[in-house]
A and B are shown apart, each in its own frame.
Chain A
Amino acid sequence: MSIAYRIPREKLSELVEVLMENYLVYAPVEKAGNFILSDVEDPAEVTLEYIRTINSVDSILLPPKEYLFKYRAGTMSFAGKLTAYIDVEDYSEKREKPLCLFGIHPCEAHAIKYLDKVFSTEPKDPYYESKRRDMFIAVILCDKGDENCFCIPFKTYIPPEDVDLVMSLDGDSIVLQPFSERGKEVVLKLEASPTEAPEINPPQRAKKIDISVFDSLTLEKVISGDISDLSEKCVLCQACTAVCPTCYCFDLYDEPDPEEPGAFFRVRRRATCHGLYYSWLAGGEVILEDKESRFKWRILHKFVFSKNMYGCYGCIGCGKCTAFCPAGIDFIYLIERLQR
């Protein structure tokens, strides 16, 4: 669909309001000087002018801490025989409205496609599926970016075809290009005038690097490379994996329900390969013992393993890992060092 529509910028909140009728809308809002993807209470707080949000789409699809189900287990006598039971209250279907991710950059929409490959393939993850089902995705084209962005080699500044709406800022107006029937229905609810579809260009300030930088990473190169001087600076804050839109590792554990003694929650908590516990085996052996091995593991997972497992890279070039690293460790510099 190449038809686009133009609305004045003031009508942004109206567009959000229309979506809020049918969706639980998450959009970038400014909080304490940072932009975060947050559930929208007031459509007026939504902004489309930002470089990057602190959190990512994965923090909505795979929350930092998520209660999966509540259970109660025990035994009872059945037909004169002792039998066990597990009563489960499953939270995977508790959503009232489908979700809408509004105003995310195209790279993050690509992150969703990557997460789909992990969680929507058999056996499907019911908790991910329930959030992903009927999800409305409205992306805002990214024109500026900054020096940490490296989406150009992955071409992730181009929105994936299965989003619903592509937006772009043009002077005093917003150009809306529906990519789906649902997207068109939403736009037609507004007083919008037809216009030409916007051109899609790479963000001006994004790093101009070539995909060969990533294509040439091999298991052997990563393992034998020396990046210890860089990893030594790591303060183990785990920000890189927490902000990464494609990081998905998690932990499962049980937690008692304080309101119902004897009942327990199965909890999913996001895990990070930069933590010691991540690869701790039963015998006490730790596979990823030092900081350098954890950096290399993250790079292997994103480039070598993902390519083998899912046929694509697990990195979309958003640059968050570099931008939010308090130790100033540059992800691209790490990769370049491993090329040598």
Chain B
Amino acid sequence: MNPYVPKPGIVEGIRWETERIRTFVIRFSGWTIDFKPGQFTQVLVPGVGEAPFCIASRPSVKDRVKITVQKRGNVTQALHNLKNGDAVGLRGPLGTGFPIEEFKGRELVIVGTGIGIAALRSLIYLAVEQPNYFSHVTVVYGTRYPQDLIYAYEYDEWRTAVDLIITLSRAPPEWRGHRGRVTEHLKKMSFSQDTVAAVCGSGVVMRSVSKLLIEKGVKPENIYVSLERHMKCGIGKCARCMISPGLYVCKNGPVFNLKQISLEYIARW
């Protein structure tokens, strides 16, 4: 089988999350997937090209996929122009994902900022679908403004399985929820030696969150970050996503623990 050739899918649902972010449901035409939270897919807009997106669906769903897309470049722009019933191509699942077998029965803290929460949604839904999978789950999710929050329509469902802390770094006066950066809330929490963490956000955020978690006693090998790089092939050939000390984000990642990569290389070369 040629790993460069995409398989067909059809846009089945589009949800406006924010002004620049939409969530797409893509139903596969004649195939299914089995993926782990944290894995990604290369989505093709016919004629425009491919871009990598984390699979944001529930892990139990096999016949379609959910991706959340921020309008940034030409592929994401083209995705935003799609309508229900349009054809797309998909390759994947690609990458390794979170080692969820190792997470079983442990305390999990999920930290996401901005659209980074999309890479963690699948993990959150593992907790929702299997409430006893982890011993306890806390989700700390931060954005700047209330209008940046995505998946707002499902927080009640998340709360059935996880402790959800939503915090805004530039909250307006009328905001009644938490304020400040995610790190300010993590500072108040305590973790055990056995705690595992899943972190996704900008490079700077992942670095500061990871640093804080280590200070609070979480072991580096238990801190998992989901990285973003300029992935083209998605199968460890094109070398565009390589990171120190010699790992392909697409093939060896995009999820890495901080024993595999060191803190300082999260956001730089």
Is A88 touching B49 in the complex (CB atoms < 8 A)? no
Tell me if B228 and A83 are in contact (CB < 8 A): no
A86-B7 contact given A264-B46, A309-B246, CB 8 Å threshold: yes
| Chain A, 264-287, CB within 8 A of any chain B CB | 264, 266, 271, 278-285, 287
Q: Which of B169-228 contact A (CB under 8 A)?
A: 202-203, 228
Residue in B4, B237, B242 whose beta carbon sits within 8 Å of that of A305 in the complex: B242
Binds B, one of A32-40, A195-203, A248-256: A248-256
Q: Does A239 contact B (CB under 8 A)?
A: no
Residue in contact with B47 in the complex, picked from A125, A219, A254, A293, CB distance below 8 Å: A254
Asked if A85 contacts B29 (CB within 8 A), the reply is yes
Q: Mark B49-91, 1 if CB is under 8 A from A, else 0.
A: 1110000000000000000001011001000000001111100
Say yes or no: is B235 at the interface (Cβ < 8 Å to chain A): yes
Tell me, in angstroms, the Cα distance from A83 to B233 when the chains sit together.
26
**Measured between C-beta atoms, what is the minimum distance from B44 to chain A in Å?**
8
Contact check, B242 vs A266: say whether CB atoms are below 8 A apart: no
**In the complex, are the beta carbons of B85 and A69 less than 8 A apart?**
no
Residues of chain A lying within 8 A (CB to CB) of residue B50: 252, 254
- B:25-60 near A, CB below 8 Å: 29-30, 44, 46-51
B238 at the interface (CB under 8 A from A): yes
Contact B245 A301 (CB under 8 A): no
Would A74 and B87 be within 8 Å (CB), given that A219-B244, A256-B47 are in contact? yes
Contact of B269 among A266, A287, A306 (CB under 8 A): A287
Q: State which of A127, A219, A252, A281 has its C-beta within 8 Å of the C-beta of B245.
A: A219
B229 within 8 A of A: yes
Contact of B230 among A280, A305, A308 (CB under 8 A): A280
Contacts of B9 in A (CB 8 A): 84
A254: contacting residue among B49, B85, B230, B235, CB under 8 A: B49
Contact B240 A75 (CB under 8 A): no
Known: A75-B85, A75-B87, A86-B87. A306 touches B246 (CB 8 A): yes
- Picked from B48, B76, B88, B235, the residue with its CB within 8 Å of the CB of A84 is B88
- B2 at interface, CB cutoff 8 A: yes
Is the pair B48, A69 in contact by a Cβ cutoff of 8 Å? no
Residue A329 lies at the interface, judged by CB distance under 8 Å to chain B: no
* A154 located at the interface, meaning its Cβ lies under 8 Å from any Cβ of chain B in the complex: no
Q: Does B232 contact A (CB under 8 A)?
A: yes
Interface digits, B249-269 against A, CB 8 Å rule (1 contact, 0 not)?
A: 000000000000000000011
A69 to B5, CA, bound (A): 8
Q: Measured between C-beta atoms, what is the minimum distance from A285 to chain B in Å?
A: 8
- On chain B, the residues within 8 Å of A271 by CB distance are 238, 240
What 0/1 pattern do residues 43 to 87 of A give for CB contact below 8 A with B? 000000000000000000000000011010111000000111110
Within 8 A of A (CB), among B66-122: 70, 72-73, 76, 85-89
Chain B residue with the shortest CB-CB distance to A309: B246
Judge whether A243 is part of the interface by a CB distance below 8 angstroms: no
A304: interface (CB < 8 Å): yes
Q: A281-B230, A306-B246 are in contact. Are A119 and B237 (CB under 8 A)?
A: yes
Does B239 make an interface contact (CB < 8 A)?
A: yes
The contact of B76 among A69, A125, A282, by CB within 8 Å, is A282
Partner of A278, one of B2, B230, B248: B230
A291 → B minimal CB distance (Å): 13
Known: A86-B7, A281-B230. A118 touches B237 (CB 8 A): yes
* B8 interface contact, C-beta 8 A: yes
**B146 within 8 A of partner (CB):** no
Contact of B2 with A92 in the complex, beta carbons under 8 Å: yes
Is B72 within 8 A of A282, CB to CB?
Answer: yes
Question: Is A297 among interface residues, defined by CB-CB distance under 8 A?
Answer: yes
The reply on A153 being an interface residue by CB < 8 A is no
Q: Which residues from chain B contact A301 at a C-beta distance below 8 Å? A: 239, 242
A-B pairs with beta carbons under 8 Å apart, 12 shown: A73-B87, A82-B10, A86-B5, A88-B5, A125-B237, A219-B245, A250-B232, A250-B240, A279-B230, A282-B76, A293-B269, A306-B246
**Residues of B at under 8 Å CB distance from A?**
2-10, 29-30, 44, 46-51, 70, 72-73, 76, 85-89, 202-203, 228-230, 232-233, 235-240, 242, 244-248, 268-269
- Other than the given A69-B4, A73-B87, A282-B76, 13 more pairs (CB < 8 A) read A71-B89, A74-B46, A85-B8, A85-B87, A86-B8, A119-B237, A264-B47, A279-B240, A279-B269, A280-B230, A282-B73, A296-B269, A304-B244
Q: Which 5 A-B pairs have the closest CB atoms?
A: A308-B246, A305-B246, A84-B87, A73-B46, A84-B8
